[in-house]
Structure 1
Amino acid sequence: MSDFQEYKNEQLSDSEFAVEYEAMRLKYEVIRAVIDARLACNMTQKELAEKTGIQQSNLSRVESGASSPTVDMLARIAAGLGKKLKIEFL
């Protein structure tokens, strides 16, 4: 287990932290999915911006968590990566 995972597990034992973490979990999962998909395609933010027509600064804000992407933006990112966007209710 990584040092980060150990630290996170320790922090999750604090109920206030756990509530806040859960509230932010979905946002961070989206960020991680976008970054992982882009890197798996060996693409820079600039290259993805050129393929999607999304400003590089907007992609950067999404990946940093400074802004939340719309479903339309996620679909454009997916298309630019040669992928399809799939949203599920579990």
Structure 2
Amino acid sequence: MGKAGAKSAEVKELLMKDEGFKTEYEKLKPRYDMISQIIEARASQNITREELALRVGTQKSNISRLESGTYDPSLDFLSKVARSLGKRYRLR
């Protein structure tokens, strides 16, 4: 872990001591874990956002908003994205 990663971990540790922050973090964690998995799968396959959008049948801006966390996708949309990456959407 580089200096930025170490600093980020320190900040997170401090913030997690605040119960309000911790509650919100835990509530949003599954969403950001899913986004990270989509980004990792797309990057590992060398697929652009534009190509993924074409596969899904949506606009590139929807993929960008999904990856930035500013889009609240439906389960159907997430399933289409997963299939387009050769993956399955699965709840744990």
For the superposition of Structure 1 and Structure 2, which TM-score range results when normalised by the shorter chain? Answer: 0.7 to 0.9
- How much does 1:76 deviate? 0.9
* Equivalent position to 2:16, from 9, 12, 18: 12
Structure 1 residues not aligned, in runs of 5+: none
Higher RCO, Cα 8 Å, sep 6+ = 1
Q: 1:44 is matched by which residue type in structure 2?
A: T
* Equivalent position to 2:83, from 75, 79, 82: 79
* Equivalent position to 2:58, from 37, 54, 61: 54
- How much does 1:85 deviate? 2.0
After the TM superposition, list the runs of 4 or more consecutive aligned residues in structure 1 that deviate by more than 6 angstroms. Answer: none
| DSSP-derived class of the 1:68 partner | coil
Partner of 2:72: 68
- How much does 1:64 deviate? 0.9
Percent of counterpart pairs with the same letter? 39
TM-score by length of 2: 0.83
Structure 2 residues not aligned, in runs of 5+: none
Alignment of 1:44 with 2:48, yes or no, is: yes
**How many residues of Structure 1 are paired with residues of Structure 2 in the alignment?**
88
- For the residues of structure 1 that align with 2:45 and 2:29, how far apart are their CA atoms? 24
Residue pair 1:37, 1:81 contacting (<8 A) in 2 also: yes
| DSSP-derived class of the 2:71 partner | coil
